[in-house]
Amino acid sequence: MCGIIGYSGHREACPILLDGLERLEYRGYDSAGILVSDNGMFHTAKRSGRLSNLRRAVEEHPLRGCCGMGHTRWATHGGPTDENAHPHGTERVMLVHNGIIENYLSLRELLLEQGYSFQSQTDTEIAACYLDYCYHGDPIDAIREALNGIEGAYAFVIMFSDHPNTLYAVRKDGPLLAALGNGENFVASDVTAVIRYTNRYLVLDEGEIAIVTPERIRLIGLDGCEHHKEIQTVTWDVEQAQKDGYEHFMLKEIHEQPDALRHTVSPRVKNGLPDWTGDGLPQDFFARFNRIQIVACGTAMHAGMIGKSVMEKLARIPVEVDIASEFRYRDPILTEDTLVIIVSQSGETADSLAALRLAKARGLATLAIVNVAGSSIAREADYVLYTFAGPEISVASTKAYSVQISLLYMIAFTLGRARGTLSEEQERSLTAQLLSCEKAVRDALALQDQIEASVRPLVDAEHLFFLGRGIDYALACEGSLKLKEISYIHCEAYAAGELKHGTISLITEGTPVIALCTQTALLPKMLSNIKETTARGASVFVIAKQGETISGDVADTVLPLQDFDDLFMPFPAVTVLQLIAYFVARARGCDIDKPRNLAKSVTVE
């Protein structure tokens, strides 16, 4: 969850660290801190709240030195205060940390007995002091010894005052990379933090220590052996990680969906049919399975719900979708003919990674759908299908969802063909329709002004319902998550037919309801359910295909989408839901790209 940046080079470290933190702030923004080493003299600045607070502090009291590290925090142990901001440590050893130290209480006892005292309530300070306790002059020995005693998840960047221009980086269950510049080198949680300076980086493996100086990056294993690995190159540039004239990253990313879809789908279509050879999947890969288990969190899990609908419909294969944090602890029944699909934008979500490891430990085949190249999930899954959405910076996931579902649709087509439920002609026609979703999303984006105007009645809502049936219910879940996440309006998504089994008691005069009616076959049933709410005073906003008859006594507002096959309606419909969330949150003056209490990449359980 937290963001880490480190720099060792020939330039002043402070501006580079602050710049890196700005790009990492989406990972957590409860506090920020930096440490700069001036030939072994540690100077730190830490502030609770947004990075701007730290910037102001550093402007007043500049920190000089060419080596340092920075941290932007998503609080776990200890509130978001100055004292709890990273870096933590002693006069000799300081570190920044992303993760959770699970045995910090027992380490704390041990350290108290040794005479250590603590300034913060964090698990990180305990880890830092424990490292100090293990330090007898050789940083590698100290790291090795400390890691033997530390339990939990971590990405650490560590500095020792008697090794003034060197950063030591090590990780377990948290992302970290080392990036290669010219006469300067970097460490970062992700590549967006350093893309302005270099596009060449090394992903650290677990149990590997990176020793970073201005001249070089050495990688050694915990056994002391030198590691050599391929340098990765980022394929996108710094502009793609900037707002590009949009007011918020979220709006920019919503608008990037048509391109993201094209980049993700087109390279996987050959002769009009899905083709997975570029992804390294064996020819008969999907034919091997009789069950699919999709595991993910949040928006990625909602994408999985759409995948379930489409796969079951087209390929008649049973599909289960699980929330990763539940899957891993419920001892799931998994048969050997099950393919486990992990869906994750970041590829670093702790619960999704743990679910992947569980599936692998049970000997099952695993396939990851991931956006961030080289991320933990991408590296550990048996096979990976990358979504080519480019960097998603806004905490609210938008374009990642569209590309995730596009790949789940393609898998459904391949499965259908492999299982004999689809003919080649049907598969070809479905593939062509999927390719045309790019245009359907553009058409939905063209409704932006109309959406902005029509959401006004929702802006002051205290609570709100999303209703849908079938695939529209899965969409309702995503629409509801998006709106509550960034606007702080309490929303619930309900299967429209289920409302009358309890929840309808919450509908009173003026309660706003957003009703998804994109499935022509289910429209009469939806209209009946909507009427049940209007009879109790609900004010209804309907999203339906153009040309469907929705009378004025059913809906206060109707947002008409271009007519399109029912099966593919999630592409334009989710675009509308994202824009509704965006404009409501904007009208409420919310911090859209960095909603409270959240972080982009959830690398803790």
Residues acting as catalytic residues: 2, 600
Contact between 94 and 159 under an 8 Å Cβ cutoff? The reply is: yes
Question: Which of 299/309 has CB closer to ligand M6R?
Answer: 299
Within 299-328, which residues bind ligand M6R (CB under 6 A)? 299-300
* Near ligand M6R in 397-456, by CB under 6 A: 397
**Is residue 395 involved in binding ligand M6R (CB under 6 A)?**
yes
For the segment 21-80, give every residue that binds ligand M6R (CB under 6 A).
Answer: none
Nearest approach, Cβ of residue 582 and ligand M6R (Å): 12
**Shortest distance (Å) from residue 241 CB to ligand M6R:** 16
Query: Judged by CB, which is closer to ligand M6R: 414, or 480?
Result: 480
Residues 6+ away with beta carbon under 8 Å from 68 = 6, 7, 13, 14, 17, 34, 35, 36, 37, 159
Considering only the stretches 32-40, 234-242, 338-346, 487-495, report the one whose residues sit in contact with ligand M6R under the rule CB under 6 A: 338-346
Q: Which of 189, 345, 519, 575 binds ligand M6R (CB under 6 A)?
A: 345
Decide if residue 254 touches ligand M6R (CB under 6 A). Answer: no
Q: Using CA atoms, how far apart are residues 112 and 126, in angstroms rounded to an integer?
A: 10
With CB under 6 A as the contact rule, the residue among 2, 54, 297, 451 that binds ligand M6R is 297
Check: CB of residue 96 under 8 Å from CB of residue 4. yes
Interface with ligand M6R, residue 344, by CB under 6 A: yes
The HSE-up count of residue 2 (CA atoms within 13 Å, CB side) is: 31
Question: Is 603 among the residues that bind ligand M6R (CB under 6 A)?
Answer: no
Residues 6+ apart with CB under 8 A from 293: 319, 320, 322, 327, 332, 334, 338, 339, 340, 341, 359, 364
Residues 316, 318, 322, 324, CA torsion sign: negative
Q: Which residue, 66, 72, 15, is CA-closest to 185? A: 66
**Given 338, 349, 402, 529, the residue binding ligand M6R (CB under 6 A):** 349
Our CB check for ligand M6R shows the closer of 527 and 602 to be 602
| Smallest separation (angstroms) from ligand M6R to the CB of 306 | 14
Supply the DSSP string of 52-112, one letter for each residue: HHHHHHHHHS----SEEEEEEE--SSS-S-TTTSSPEE-SSEEEEEEEEETTHHHHHHHHH
CB atoms within 10 A of CB 40: 15
Q: Is 330 helix (H, G, I), strand (E, B) or coil?
A: coil
- Distance set, CA 300 to CA 103, 339, 364 (Å): 31, 17, 21
Shortest distance, position 474 Cβ to ligand M6R, whole Å: 14
Min dist. Cβ of residue 240 to ligand M6R (A): 18
Closest contact distance (angstroms) between CB of 297 and ligand M6R is: 4
396 forms part of the interface with ligand M6R (CB under 6 A): yes
Q: In the set 185, 352, 431, 480, which binds ligand M6R (CB under 6 A)?
A: 352
Residue ranges in contact with ligand M6R by CB under 6 A: 297-300, 344-346, 349, 352, 395-397, 481, 485, 601-602
